[in-house]
Structure 1
Amino acid sequence: MRRAHTTVAATAGLTIALAACGLSTGSTGGPSPTGSAAAEKIAWGACTDLAVPEGAAPATPNAALQCGKLRVPLDYTKPGGETVDLAMIRIPATGPGERIGSLVFNFGGPGASGVDTMARAVKAFTTLNTRYDLVSFDPRGVERSRGVRCGDGKDMEAYVSLNSLPSNEQTREKTQAVTEQFTKLCEKDSGPVLPYVGTVNAARDMDKMRVALGDAKLNYFGMSYGTHLGAVYATLFPKNVGRMVLDAPLDPSVTFEQRTIAQTKGFQQAYESFLKDCVEQGCELGKSVEAADKKITNLMYQLVESPLKVGDRELTQGLAGTAVAAALYSRLSWPFLESALASALKGDGGALMYLADTYTGRRPDGTYSTEMSSFPAVTCVDTAERPSEQELVRTEEAALKISPLFGSVGAGSICRVWPVPGSDEAKKVDATGSGPILVVAGKGDPATPYQWGPKLTKQLKTATLLTYEGEGHGAYLSGSKCIAGAVNAYLLQGKMPEEGASCPS
């Protein structure tokens, strides 16, 4: 799940593998939630358009990677109408051992490309790949699957570069003006698809995938936002649930205000843990937590008045804040964050810009992936909530008391002016009748705070909670052998951890 962008939209960040229109959302009508009509076939072939991260060498062709497309209805109430071609990727099971079936991944967002992420992260799932075909996809509204676009690279740059400091009426007015312009561009460039990109429709798409892949049950690994997608799938198709893991869980019942406050607390806690660890290791930023925090705070305010030149671009306070948040997703990024901040204090903002670009999906040529545009498109369709100006101000004031650096109005700001209405159907999850589901939640997760784990587990009714005591967004890829062992045992052998089980940091 993405963190609340410090000024504009949404809940942002790296996909954790790498550190609506009322009835037309498909909420009524369409296929029965207990089954699925026959799906189209997937024609698998070579992957020819995988994204290469900035600074990386051109990808070496990997014969194991297979790409294809699956055609699904745009509007499930009109199954014979317009369609969407969903981009998919597959890595066939390698053995030894009997193949179990397909294991479908969603790495988070909403807005992350599962095709690109799986291609880069496949080595992280080598154990699972022995007995599963690893499968992922770009959900509807993301990248190759009718990705939501909102203007060109310059428009996106203006949107993601917005400052959140100082917290005053002038900053709020500028944020509102840019946000409104951004939503108009989204409607202009992607209007026809916007009502149909919500999680309910994406869950129906996954059942089409299950049939097309030839699986009687959907085996699924959802991370961050992917836990919400999995929970909605289990609600719509409980009898079709195979082995399902939900890592870094989202509580879909939270309001914009509750989400913003919880995530602000989570990122502030992670930031304080980073500073403490930095000082203990001999920190370039200061000899005490207070001294390091003061330097970083001063840097942020300096960037409001004097952004740092990075090539032909400017590192604004908004981009620097985004960079810090991006690095807090994983403890493994903390040393790089320390170095990036130290360089910025000396006048070199290149490393912070790199972190921000990774977070926002900016490519070396100045274009952007759909991460920052797909996120609000899905988020705003997934809720009927449209907060008032008074509610946004109250939320921001409460968040800023918790963290001057990370406090914001959250996604409520953009959803308030989003061009299509939303539905609350994706907020209601209950997997009664499904097989056992494994929920994995981390005590030090900044983006999906730990308390959301027990809440989602209770709402699903068929889930068991596994607790990770460590830091970072997502537990399976944290490096914890205990977590990886427990998850692998469940997915490969069907062995569920005992109730109340936990793993140390």
Structure 2
Amino acid sequence: MPNRPARTRAAALSVALLTAALAAGCGDGADAEDLPSQKLSWKDCPVPSAEQGGGESPSPLPGGTDWQCATMKAPLDWDEPDGETIDITLIRAESSGDDEKRIGSLIFNFGGPGGSGVTTLPAFGEEYAKLRTRYDLVSFDPRGVGRSAPVTCRTDKQLDAYYQQDASPDDTAEEKAYVDEVKGFNGDCEEKSGKVLPHVATTDAARDMDLMRQVLGDKKLHYFGISYGTELGGVYAHLFPKNVGRAVFDAVVDPTQNAEQGSLGQAKGFQLALENYAKDCTSKEEECPVGDTPEDVQARIAKLLKELEAKPLPGLGPRKLTQTAATNGIAQSLYSKDFWEYLTEGLEQAYSGDGQVLMALSDSMNGRSPDGTYSNIGAANIAINCADDKPRYTLADVKAKLPEFRKASPLFGDFLAWGMVGCTDWAVKGAADHPNVSAEGSAPIVVVGNTGDPATPYEGTRKMVDALGKGVGVEVTYKGQGHGAYDSGDRCVRRAVDGYLLDGRSPKSGTVCP
């Protein structure tokens, strides 16, 4: 279970695929004054690397526009800008409109932290066809992710074993085993990726984006951030308020929370999403196959998870569907209302003694492909979170907080509480209790929150608006389900976002959709 805002479109891509189912070398030093004037060499995109999630090269967009990829040099250490450099991998689809109406580049970050923008943007590029009439669509693998100096920790075989562990220990022996396993994993990250770990914080990625803005030839940064991408965008706006152009934050991270508060908020958010799923399933004319009432649905899930702790079900290949994997798979299916059918199928199958669908859902959360290879989303997620988050939680801290987490969510509380120890033995100190996103002097930023969002609960929307500062954040509410609003296709949300990005027409703050 993620202990920070989880992936949005990257996760959606993995779930869609299931139905069909180290660190990069650093370059020589470069003069910091030369970096903004570097020329990108755009070429056909290669086959995605294992760290990016594998697969095939992106197909052309309707109309024949090809995706192009390039690498940008950036300092490994922004405190030593003339020192070693790393390659930041970018992808773009050029604007489909007239050159005279082109605004510039629109840079996307789809969340995670740890998601590859290079593989995610082309998977959903058609949804942004209207935005492409005036922008080049651009995304990137943030440092530590995919092909951009990727953080690596363990082999695929080791990760299979790691994700089979019990992530909600019930006694002293299980607690020790869990904490020791996390410590071992973190030690492996240091051994394999120690050079890059001090330099993958969100502030580093924000500085990369400002360099990217200059290299792409834009006076202002036009930006679309989703999930963790809203935190990255807020940090950018704080560091470079005068450089912000037209920006949209969707599925908004609460920037006032520390790691514990963020995890507790997610426990409440996933619990709400589960309750909404149960109500939806039992309210239809046809019989809900996983329960007669919302309460019955949740009770049967709780019973299944308890039974799985003692006796895992057959999963995929030699791997078993454990309690942890099932909980992870259920969480994955709650990211979008479109995925609820997978949850129903997975639960119905599990009640019959087969764990394949829930296991596939869990695999997609963990970045595991059907061929057994893992992307580095898990390693990058922990590395970026631990570089950002100052608190280091102990076993005693977790045990003291378990009652509050269980009250927030009987199903997800334990897993999210125990996830707080993920950074305890990390090799790098965390930067702060929470990000600074105050952005006085910035252009308006449209901030869109979804009332049914499980991973970035709706309450964070207003917190982000307030933290950005007076006259900066423009609040838009979407009354819906799932992680994010723009990809719901709601016309009201699309009008608000497209109107601002394409025409500079800011919606009225407080707009409610639909």
- Give me the TM-score of the superposition, normalised by structure 2: 0.89
Query: Given the alignment of the two structures, is residue 305 of structure 1 paired with residue 310 of structure 2, yes or no?
Result: yes
- Cα contact 1:18–1:117 (8 A) shared by 2: no
Partner of 1:24: none
Aligned to 2:22: none
Q: SS where residue 84 of structure 1 aligns?
A: strand
Partner of 1:367: 373
Q: Deviations over 1:340-386 (max 9, x none)?
A: 11011112211111111111101223221111111110011112211
Q: Corresponding residue for 2:443?
A: 435
- Which residue in 1 is equivalent to 2:432? 424
The 10-residue stretch of structure 1 (422-431 or 334-343) with the greater mean CA deviation from structure 2: 422-431
Divergent runs of 4+, >6 A = 51-57
Amino acid at match of 2:389: T
Q: Is the alpha carbon distance of 1:204 and 1:410 closer, same or farther for their aligned partners in structure 2, counting shifts above 3 Å?
A: farther
Structure 1 residue 129 corresponds to structure 2 residue 132: yes
Q: Secondary structure at the match of 2:451?
A: strand
**Within 5 Å, which residues of 2 pair with 1:159-178?**
159-165=162-168, 167-178=170-181
2:269 pairs, out of 251, 266, 285, with 266
Contact 2:450 2:457 in 1 (8 A): yes
| 2:229 alignment counterpart | 226
Deviates more, 1:166-175 or 1:197-206: 166-175
Match of 1:444 among 444, 449, 452: 452
SS for the counterpart of 2:438 is coil
SS at structure 1 position matched to 2:487: coil
Amino acid at match of 1:18: A
Aligned to 2:466: 458
The answer to whether the 8 Å contact 1:71/1:83 transfers is yes
Answer yes or no: is 1:212 the counterpart of 2:215.
Answer: yes
In the alignment, does 2:480 pair up with 1:478? no
Deviations 1:461-484 (A, max 9, x none): 111110111111101001211111
SS in 2 for 1:38: helix
SS of 1:334's equivalent in the other structure is helix
Which shows bigger deviation, 427-436 or 85-94?
A: 427-436
Which segment drifts farther, 220-229 or 410-419?
Answer: 410-419
Q: Which amino acid aligns with 2:460?
A: W
Per the alignment, residue 24 of structure 2 pairs with none
Counting only pairs closer than 5 Å after superposition, residues 47-86 of structure 1 correspond to structure 2 as: 47-50=45-48, 58=56, 61-62=59-60, 64-86=66-88
- What's the CA shift for 1:172? 2.4
Partner of 2:363: 357
Q: Mean alpha-carbon deviation: is it higher for 231-240 or for 172-181?
A: 172-181
Note the C-alpha offset of 1:61. Answer: 4.2
Give the match for residue 46 of structure 1: 44
Q: Counterpart of 2:492 in structure 1: which amino acid?
A: C
SS at match of 2:477: strand
Deviates more, 1:107-116 or 1:477-486: 477-486
One-letter code aligned to 1:66: Q
Residue 162 of structure 1 contacts residue 318 of structure 1 at CA under 8 Å; is this kept in 2? yes
Give the partner amino acid of 1:414: G
Identify the range of structure 1 (108-117 vs 286-295) with the bigger mean alpha-carbon deviation: 286-295
The residue type paired with residue 380 of structure 2 is: S
> Is the partner of 1:276 in helix, strand or coil?
helix
CA RMSD, Structure 1 to Structure 2 (Å):
2.4
- Which stretch shifts more, 381-390 or 321-330? 381-390
Partner of 1:92: 94
Cα gap change, 1:374 to 1:60, in 2 (>3 Å): closer
1:340 aligns with 346
DSSP 3-state at the match of 2:374 = coil
Give the one of 147, 155, 159 matched to 2:158: 155
Give a deviation string over 1:192-222, Cα, whole Å, max 9, x none. 1000000000000001100110101000000
8 Å contact kept, 1:261–1:395: no
- SS of 2:249's equivalent in the other structure is strand
**CA gap 1:224/1:10 in 2 versus in 1, 3 angstroms:** closer
How far 1:244 sits from its partner (Å)? 0.5
1:13 Cα deviation from its structure 2 partner: 4.4
2:512 aligns with: 502
Find the counterpart in structure 2 of residue 18 from structure 1: 12
Amino acid at match of 1:207: D
Distance 2:481 2:232 in 1: 24
Give the corresponding residue for 1:244.
247
Note the C-alpha offset of 1:14. Answer: 4.4
Question: Partner letter of residue 256 of structure 1?
Answer: A
Change (3 A) 1:466 1:56: same
- Counterpart position of 1:187: 190
Once residues 379 and 55 of structure 2 are traced to their aligned partners in structure 1, the CA distance between those partners, rounded to angstroms, is 27
Amino acid at match of 1:307: P
Distance in 1 separating the partners of 2:159 and 2:181: 10
Q: Which runs of 5+ in 2 are unaligned?
A: 14-30
For the pair 1:283 / 2:293, whether they are aligned, the reply is no
Q: Which of 467, 470, 473 pairs up with 2:477? A: 467
> In the alignment, which of 99, 116, 119 is matched to residue 119 of structure 2?
116
SS of 1:68's equivalent in the other structure is: strand
Give TM-score, length-normalised by structure 1. Answer: 0.91
Give the whole-Å Cα distance in 1 for the aligned partners of 2:73 and 2:221.
18
For residues 433 and 408 of structure 2, what CA distance do their matches in structure 1 show?
Answer: 31
The Cα offsets for residues 44-74 of structure 1, whole Å up to 9 and x where unpaired, read as: 1000123699999955642510001001000
Q: Which segment drifts farther, 59-68 or 85-94?
A: 59-68
Q: How does 1:194-209 map to 2 (within 5 A)?
A: 194-209=197-212
Distance 1:345 1:36, change over 3 A: farther
Displacement of 1:311 in angstroms is 1.8
